[in-house]
Amino acid sequence: MKHYNRIKGLIAATFTPFNQEGNLNLEVIPMYADYLAKSSIQGVFICGTSGESLSLTEQERKELACAWIKAAQKRFRVIIHVGSNSIIESKSLAQHAEEIGADGIAMMSPTFFKPVNVNELVTYLKTVALSAPHTPFYYYNMPTITGVHLPVKDILKVAGQEIETLVGVKFTSNNFMEMAECIDYDCHRFEILNGYDENLLCGLAMGVEGAVGSTYNYIPHIYQKMMEYFKKNKITQAREMQLKSIAVINIIIKHGGGVRGGKAIMKFIGINCGDCRLPLSPFSKSEYEEIERELVSLHLIS
Protein backbone atom coordinates (compact mmCIF):
# COMPACT_ATOMS: atom_id res chain seq x y z
CA MET A 1 0.00 0.00 0.00
CA LYS A 2 1.16 3.54 -0.75
CA HIS A 3 2.51 5.70 2.08
CA TYR A 4 -0.30 6.89 4.27
CA ASN A 5 -0.62 9.57 6.95
CA ARG A 6 -3.66 9.86 9.18
CA ILE A 7 -6.09 12.68 8.51
CA LYS A 8 -6.01 15.49 11.06
CA GLY A 9 -8.63 18.02 10.08
CA LEU A 10 -11.54 18.39 7.71
CA ILE A 11 -12.41 16.48 4.55
CA ALA A 12 -15.12 18.16 2.46
CA ALA A 13 -17.77 15.79 1.11
CA THR A 14 -18.18 17.51 -2.23
CA PHE A 15 -21.29 18.12 -4.28
CA THR A 16 -21.53 16.96 -7.88
CA PRO A 17 -22.02 19.90 -10.28
CA PHE A 18 -24.73 19.58 -12.92
CA ASN A 19 -25.64 21.94 -15.76
CA GLN A 20 -29.14 23.07 -16.69
CA GLU A 21 -29.67 19.90 -18.71
CA GLY A 22 -28.84 17.75 -15.69
CA ASN A 23 -25.50 16.53 -17.04
CA LEU A 24 -22.11 16.73 -15.33
CA ASN A 25 -20.63 20.22 -15.32
CA LEU A 26 -16.94 19.46 -14.90
CA GLU A 27 -15.96 23.04 -15.73
CA VAL A 28 -16.88 23.99 -12.16
CA ILE A 29 -14.36 21.61 -10.58
CA PRO A 30 -11.14 23.68 -10.97
CA MET A 31 -12.74 26.74 -9.34
CA TYR A 32 -14.30 24.51 -6.67
CA ALA A 33 -10.91 22.94 -5.93
CA ASP A 34 -9.18 26.34 -5.71
CA TYR A 35 -11.83 27.55 -3.29
CA LEU A 36 -11.41 24.51 -1.03
CA ALA A 37 -7.62 24.68 -1.15
CA LYS A 38 -7.76 28.26 0.13
CA SER A 39 -9.97 27.17 3.02
CA SER A 40 -7.20 24.89 4.35
CA ILE A 41 -9.25 21.70 4.29
CA GLN A 42 -7.27 18.45 4.25
CA GLY A 43 -9.04 16.80 1.36
CA VAL A 44 -12.21 15.95 -0.50
CA PHE A 45 -14.52 12.95 -0.35
CA ILE A 46 -16.11 12.66 -3.78
CA CYS A 47 -19.02 10.63 -5.12
CA GLY A 48 -20.39 10.04 -1.64
CA THR A 49 -23.84 10.82 -0.27
CA SER A 50 -23.36 14.57 -0.79
CA GLY A 51 -22.10 13.81 -4.30
CA GLU A 52 -25.29 11.92 -5.21
CA SER A 53 -23.19 8.88 -6.04
CA LEU A 54 -25.97 6.37 -6.59
CA SER A 55 -27.70 8.84 -8.92
CA LEU A 56 -24.65 8.86 -11.21
CA THR A 57 -23.63 6.42 -13.91
CA GLU A 58 -20.36 4.54 -13.61
CA GLN A 59 -18.87 6.61 -16.43
CA GLU A 60 -19.93 9.87 -14.78
CA ARG A 61 -18.29 8.81 -11.54
CA LYS A 62 -15.04 8.06 -13.35
CA GLU A 63 -15.10 11.38 -15.18
CA LEU A 64 -15.76 13.20 -11.92
CA ALA A 65 -12.90 11.37 -10.22
CA CYS A 66 -10.49 12.31 -13.02
CA ALA A 67 -11.57 15.95 -12.84
CA TRP A 68 -10.95 16.14 -9.09
CA ILE A 69 -7.56 14.42 -9.26
CA LYS A 70 -6.49 16.88 -11.95
CA ALA A 71 -7.87 19.93 -10.14
CA ALA A 72 -6.47 19.00 -6.72
CA GLN A 73 -2.88 19.22 -7.99
CA LYS A 74 -1.66 17.44 -4.84
CA ARG A 75 -2.84 20.37 -2.69
CA PHE A 76 -5.18 18.11 -0.72
CA ARG A 77 -6.19 14.49 -0.60
CA VAL A 78 -8.79 12.98 -2.89
CA ILE A 79 -10.77 10.08 -1.43
CA ILE A 80 -13.17 8.45 -3.87
CA HIS A 81 -16.29 6.64 -2.76
CA VAL A 82 -16.75 3.51 -4.88
CA GLY A 83 -19.80 1.98 -3.22
CA SER A 84 -22.60 0.74 -5.45
CA ASN A 85 -25.37 -1.85 -5.50
CA SER A 86 -23.35 -3.66 -8.19
CA ILE A 87 -20.12 -5.26 -7.05
CA ILE A 88 -18.91 -5.30 -10.66
CA GLU A 89 -19.31 -1.53 -10.82
CA SER A 90 -17.62 -1.04 -7.44
CA LYS A 91 -14.63 -3.14 -8.49
CA SER A 92 -14.32 -1.15 -11.71
CA LEU A 93 -14.53 2.15 -9.82
CA ALA A 94 -11.93 1.00 -7.29
CA GLN A 95 -9.51 -0.11 -9.98
CA HIS A 96 -9.99 3.18 -11.81
CA ALA A 97 -9.42 5.18 -8.61
CA GLU A 98 -6.08 3.47 -8.07
CA GLU A 99 -5.06 3.94 -11.71
CA ILE A 100 -5.62 7.72 -11.55
CA GLY A 101 -3.80 8.11 -8.24
CA ALA A 102 -6.54 8.52 -5.63
CA ASP A 103 -5.26 9.00 -2.09
CA GLY A 104 -7.90 6.63 -0.76
CA ILE A 105 -11.13 4.86 -1.56
CA ALA A 106 -14.21 4.36 0.59
CA MET A 107 -17.15 2.04 0.32
CA MET A 108 -20.52 1.73 1.98
CA SER A 109 -22.60 -1.43 2.08
CA PRO A 110 -25.05 -2.23 -0.71
CA THR A 111 -28.43 -0.71 0.03
CA PHE A 112 -30.81 -3.12 -1.76
CA PHE A 113 -29.64 -6.69 -1.22
CA LYS A 114 -27.88 -6.22 2.10
CA PRO A 115 -25.31 -8.35 3.91
CA VAL A 116 -26.94 -9.91 6.96
CA ASN A 117 -23.83 -10.49 9.06
CA VAL A 118 -20.29 -9.21 9.50
CA ASN A 119 -18.65 -11.98 7.47
CA GLU A 120 -20.88 -11.30 4.46
CA LEU A 121 -20.10 -7.60 4.60
CA VAL A 122 -16.35 -8.11 4.96
CA THR A 123 -16.31 -10.56 2.05
CA TYR A 124 -18.03 -7.91 -0.08
CA LEU A 125 -15.65 -5.15 1.02
CA LYS A 126 -12.57 -7.33 0.53
CA THR A 127 -13.57 -8.23 -3.01
CA VAL A 128 -13.66 -4.55 -3.93
CA ALA A 129 -10.56 -3.57 -1.95
CA LEU A 130 -8.54 -6.17 -3.87
CA SER A 131 -9.27 -4.21 -7.06
CA ALA A 132 -7.18 -1.36 -5.60
CA PRO A 133 -4.49 -3.31 -3.73
CA HIS A 134 -2.19 -0.33 -3.16
CA THR A 135 -4.79 2.26 -2.10
CA PRO A 136 -5.90 2.99 1.50
CA PHE A 137 -9.42 1.69 2.07
CA TYR A 138 -12.16 3.06 4.34
CA TYR A 139 -15.39 1.38 5.30
CA TYR A 140 -18.20 3.96 5.03
CA ASN A 141 -20.58 3.24 7.91
CA MET A 142 -23.94 5.01 7.48
CA PRO A 143 -26.67 2.71 8.81
CA THR A 144 -29.46 5.28 8.48
CA ILE A 145 -28.97 5.23 4.70
CA THR A 146 -27.81 1.68 4.02
CA GLY A 147 -30.04 -0.06 6.53
CA VAL A 148 -27.06 -2.20 7.56
CA HIS A 149 -26.81 -2.13 11.35
CA LEU A 150 -23.79 -4.29 12.10
CA PRO A 151 -21.36 -3.68 15.00
CA VAL A 152 -18.52 -1.62 13.59
CA LYS A 153 -16.01 -2.92 16.11
CA ASP A 154 -16.80 -6.47 14.98
CA ILE A 155 -16.36 -5.35 11.36
CA LEU A 156 -12.91 -3.98 12.24
CA LYS A 157 -11.95 -7.21 14.00
CA VAL A 158 -12.75 -9.34 10.96
CA ALA A 159 -11.82 -6.86 8.21
CA GLY A 160 -8.56 -6.07 9.97
CA GLN A 161 -7.51 -9.66 9.33
CA GLU A 162 -8.89 -9.86 5.80
CA ILE A 163 -8.30 -6.47 4.13
CA GLU A 164 -4.64 -5.43 4.09
CA THR A 165 -5.42 -1.92 2.89
CA LEU A 166 -8.07 -1.14 5.53
CA VAL A 167 -7.07 2.05 7.35
CA GLY A 168 -10.29 3.19 8.96
CA VAL A 169 -13.97 4.02 8.98
CA LYS A 170 -16.04 6.99 7.92
CA PHE A 171 -18.27 6.81 10.98
CA THR A 172 -21.62 8.40 10.15
CA SER A 173 -23.59 7.36 13.21
CA ASN A 174 -24.68 8.90 16.50
CA ASN A 175 -23.57 5.86 18.50
CA PHE A 176 -20.71 7.50 20.38
CA MET A 177 -20.13 4.53 22.67
CA GLU A 178 -19.44 2.45 19.57
CA MET A 179 -17.27 5.23 18.12
CA ALA A 180 -15.13 5.32 21.27
CA GLU A 181 -14.71 1.54 21.21
CA CYS A 182 -13.64 1.65 17.55
CA ILE A 183 -11.11 4.40 18.22
CA ASP A 184 -9.66 2.44 21.13
CA TYR A 185 -9.67 -0.94 19.37
CA ASP A 186 -6.31 -2.67 18.97
CA CYS A 187 -4.29 0.25 20.38
CA HIS A 188 -5.89 2.85 18.09
CA ARG A 189 -5.04 0.80 15.02
CA PHE A 190 -7.74 2.29 12.78
CA GLU A 191 -8.58 5.85 11.88
CA ILE A 192 -12.16 6.79 12.77
CA LEU A 193 -13.46 9.81 10.84
CA ASN A 194 -16.44 11.68 12.26
CA GLY A 195 -19.34 11.67 9.80
CA TYR A 196 -22.07 13.87 11.28
CA ASP A 197 -21.08 17.54 11.13
CA GLU A 198 -23.59 18.58 13.80
CA ASN A 199 -21.88 16.24 16.28
CA LEU A 200 -18.22 16.91 15.54
CA LEU A 201 -17.60 18.21 19.06
CA CYS A 202 -18.93 14.92 20.44
CA GLY A 203 -16.58 13.07 18.11
CA LEU A 204 -13.63 15.15 19.27
CA ALA A 205 -14.48 14.26 22.86
CA MET A 206 -14.41 10.58 21.88
CA GLY A 207 -10.97 11.01 20.29
CA VAL A 208 -11.46 11.59 16.55
CA GLU A 209 -8.92 13.80 14.81
CA GLY A 210 -10.42 13.89 11.31
CA ALA A 211 -13.90 14.39 9.92
CA VAL A 212 -15.77 14.12 6.62
CA GLY A 213 -18.79 16.33 6.03
CA SER A 214 -20.75 18.39 3.54
CA THR A 215 -20.90 21.64 5.52
CA TYR A 216 -17.10 21.76 5.46
CA ASN A 217 -17.60 22.93 1.87
CA TYR A 218 -18.99 26.30 2.92
CA ILE A 219 -18.39 26.89 6.66
CA PRO A 220 -15.06 25.14 7.32
CA HIS A 221 -13.82 28.09 9.39
CA ILE A 222 -16.45 27.41 12.06
CA TYR A 223 -15.26 23.83 12.53
CA GLN A 224 -11.60 24.76 12.31
CA LYS A 225 -12.12 27.24 15.16
CA MET A 226 -14.01 24.56 17.08
CA MET A 227 -11.11 22.14 16.74
CA GLU A 228 -8.62 24.81 17.81
CA TYR A 229 -10.69 25.65 20.89
CA PHE A 230 -11.04 21.98 21.76
CA LYS A 231 -7.28 21.43 21.58
CA LYS A 232 -6.83 24.37 23.98
CA ASN A 233 -9.48 22.92 26.32
CA LYS A 234 -11.73 25.94 25.69
CA ILE A 235 -14.87 23.84 25.69
CA THR A 236 -17.36 26.70 26.08
CA GLN A 237 -16.01 28.42 22.98
CA ALA A 238 -15.90 25.11 21.10
CA ARG A 239 -19.55 24.52 21.99
CA GLU A 240 -20.43 27.98 20.66
CA MET A 241 -18.88 27.06 17.32
CA GLN A 242 -20.83 23.80 17.23
CA LEU A 243 -24.06 25.70 17.88
CA LYS A 244 -23.23 28.08 15.03
CA SER A 245 -22.87 25.14 12.69
CA ILE A 246 -26.13 23.64 13.96
CA ALA A 247 -27.94 26.88 13.08
CA VAL A 248 -26.77 26.47 9.48
CA ILE A 249 -27.62 22.78 9.45
CA ASN A 250 -31.15 23.55 10.63
CA ILE A 251 -31.55 25.78 7.58
CA ILE A 252 -30.47 23.09 5.14
CA ILE A 253 -32.67 20.50 6.86
CA LYS A 254 -35.61 22.89 6.49
CA HIS A 255 -34.87 23.17 2.77
CA GLY A 256 -34.59 19.51 1.85
CA GLY A 257 -31.50 18.22 3.60
CA GLY A 258 -27.73 18.39 3.29
CA VAL A 259 -27.49 17.77 -0.45
CA ARG A 260 -30.34 19.93 -1.71
CA GLY A 261 -29.84 22.72 0.82
CA GLY A 262 -26.07 22.50 0.59
CA LYS A 263 -26.08 22.98 -3.16
CA ALA A 264 -28.17 26.12 -2.70
CA ILE A 265 -25.61 27.53 -0.26
CA MET A 266 -22.77 26.74 -2.67
CA LYS A 267 -24.53 28.83 -5.30
CA PHE A 268 -24.69 31.78 -2.92
CA ILE A 269 -20.95 31.63 -2.21
CA GLY A 270 -20.14 31.57 -5.92
CA ILE A 271 -19.71 27.85 -6.68
CA ASN A 272 -22.76 26.96 -8.76
CA CYS A 273 -23.24 23.19 -8.57
CA GLY A 274 -26.68 23.36 -10.15
CA ASP A 275 -29.72 21.44 -8.97
CA CYS A 276 -29.84 17.89 -7.67
CA ARG A 277 -30.97 14.97 -9.75
CA LEU A 278 -34.47 13.66 -9.31
CA PRO A 279 -36.06 12.59 -7.07
CA LEU A 280 -34.47 15.56 -5.24
CA SER A 281 -36.42 18.49 -6.65
CA PRO A 282 -34.93 21.78 -7.89
CA PHE A 283 -35.28 24.98 -5.88
CA SER A 284 -37.99 27.46 -6.81
CA LYS A 285 -37.21 31.18 -6.94
CA SER A 286 -39.12 31.78 -3.71
CA GLU A 287 -37.16 29.02 -1.93
CA TYR A 288 -33.87 30.57 -3.02
CA GLU A 289 -35.02 33.94 -1.72
CA GLU A 290 -36.04 32.45 1.61
CA ILE A 291 -32.80 30.57 2.17
CA GLU A 292 -30.86 33.69 1.17
CA ARG A 293 -32.66 35.72 3.85
CA GLU A 294 -31.91 33.06 6.43
CA LEU A 295 -28.21 32.95 5.53
CA VAL A 296 -27.98 36.75 5.68
CA SER A 297 -29.54 36.66 9.16
CA LEU A 298 -26.69 34.38 10.27
CA HIS A 299 -24.13 36.71 8.61
CA LEU A 300 -22.92 33.90 6.35
CA ILE A 301 -23.53 35.95 3.21
CA SER A 302 -24.13 39.66 2.70
* Binding-site residue positions for pyruvate: 212
Contact criterion met (CB below 8 Å) for 150 and 120: no
> What residues contact 108, with CB distance under 8 A and at least 6 apart?
81, 83, 139, 140, 141, 142, 145, 146
Measured torsion, CA atoms of residues 103, 252, 38, 51, in degrees rounded to the nearest 10: 30
98 three-class SS: helix
Q: Which of 212, 291, 273 is nearest to 22 (CA)?
A: 273
Helices (H) and strands (E) in the chain, counts: 12, 8
DSSP state of 197: G
The bridge status of strand 104-108 relative to strand 43-46 is unpaired
Q: Which helix (H) or strand (E) holds 9?
A: strand 9-13
**Which residues participate in the annotated binding site?**
212
Catalytic residue annotation: 140, 170
Q: At what angle do helices 235-254 and 285-297 cross, to 10 degrees?
A: 170
Q: Which of 33, 110, 113, 112 is nearest to 74 (CA)?
A: 33
